[in-house]
Amino acid sequence: MSNQVITTKPKARINDYVSVDCVIFGFDFTQLNVLLVDRVLKDEITDKEKFNDLTLTGNHIYEDEDLEAAAARILFDLTGLKDIYLEQFQTFGSPQRITRENDKAWLAANGRDPDQRIITVGYYSLLATDKVTLEWKGRNVSWFPVSEVKELAFDHMEILNEALTALRKKLLQEPIGFELLPPKFTLSQLQRLYEVVLGVSLDKRNFRKKVSRMKYLVALDEKQKGVAHKPARLYVFDREIYENTRKELFDFAI
């Protein structure tokens, strides 16, 4: 059986036992959202928005492809964007990852061995845009508020939970929140981001006092427009200042 290669890259998978899954987070100034794909083909959908037919976006790894490159490729397919923030957070490889009957049935129906354990390298990514494809491989794609997702297909709920835990830890230590915001943002938007992701509420004055110490958060001579209240000042994150002034944390929690 001949296999016509039409791209310049060889597209052979390294094997069927390893995949990369990508937990794509987005922020709409109100909630933290995650991009989910319906595993049922668009044509065949009967019962809309059943969470247990929703999955994270995953894919196999090609022969000459780095793990992170595979995650970036998934992202590019869904957003058309490159150079997106990506972070490897955990690898999942329990032999009993798939237990539910409907998951096994889906795998069998899609030509895979439901008892074959797959090792999945998990990445999460942070998007500052809500522009994504609405369809991927003939399947519906859409944003869901993380707080409302209670059940997903396969073990993807566990993967999402671990991604969220990793994101929170990271956010507590490094200024990655900016990856979820447009280049120019207000302090209230930034505060809301921290509140939503960490699940806490923060005092406005104390928050502003704290961020005013961060030199890499630069105030612009520019204000919000078209809002029905006092317009907020806009800020940018200056990566260069951050890289030059960042210091290691040595406040240990023994």
88 binds, among DNA, a copy of itself, none (CB under 5 to 8 A by kind): a copy of itself
Q: Which of 173, 215, 175 lies closest to 193, judged by CA?
A: 175
Among 117, 203, 239, 244, binds DNA (CB under 7 A): 203
From residue 43 to residue 62, the character string flagging contacts with DNA as x (rule: CB under 7 A) and all else as - is --------------------
C-alpha span between 246 and 244 (Å, rounded)? 6
140 φ, ψ (degrees, to nearest 5):
-70, 140
Q: Which two tokens stand for residue 211?
A: 């961020």
| Helices (H), ranges, 13-110 | 67-79, 101-109
Instruction: For residue 173, count other CB atoms closer than 10 A to its CB.
Output: 9
3-state secondary structure of 152: coil
Of residues 6 through 35, those in contact with a copy of itself by CB under 8 A are 14-15, 17-18
Q: Looking at beta carbons only, is 48 or 229 nearer to DNA?
A: 229
Residue 186 touches DNA, criterion: CB under 7 A? yes
DSSP 185: B
Nearer residue to a copy of itself within complex by CB, 40 or 167: 167
Residue of 28, 64, 130, 203 that binds a copy of itself (CB under 8 A): 64
Residue 203 lies near a copy of itself (rule: CB under 8 A): no
Cα–Cα distances (Å) from 153 to 27, 38, 57, 99, in that order, read 23, 9, 11, 10
Q: Which is nearer to DNA, 43 or 221 (CB)?
A: 221
Binding of residue 236 to DNA (CB under 7 A): no
Of these partners, DNA, a copy of itself, none, which one is at the site of residue 67 (CB under 5 to 8 Å by kind)?
a copy of itself
Q: Which of 88, 90, 142, 188 lies at the binding interface for DNA (CB under 7 A)? A: 188
β-bridge mates for residue 59, sequence order: 20
| Element holding 180 (H helix, E strand) | none
Interface with a copy of itself: number of residues (CB under 8 A): 39
What is the Cα–Cα distance from 242 to 237, expressed in whole angstroms?
8
30 vs 91 by CB, closer to DNA: 30
Q: How far apart are the C-alpha atoms of 211 and 207, rounded to whole Å?
A: 6
In degrees and rounded to multiples of 5, residue 167 shows phi and psi of -60, -45
- Check binding of 247 to DNA (CB under 7 A): no
Out of 23, 34, 40, 61, name the contact with a copy of itself by CB under 8 A.
Answer: 61
The CA distance from 47 to 32, in Å, is 25
Question: How far is Cα 162 from Cα 122, in angstroms, rounded to an integer?
Answer: 9
Among 42, 137, 209, 215, binds DNA (CB under 7 A): 209
Judged by the rule CB under 7 A, the positions of this chain that interact with DNA are 186-189, 203-206, 208-210, 213, 223, 225-233, 250-251
Judged by the rule CB under 8 A, the positions of this chain that interact with a copy of itself are 14-15, 17-18, 61, 63-67, 88, 90-91, 93-95, 117, 119, 121, 171-175, 177, 190, 194, 198, 200, 210-211, 214, 217, 249-254
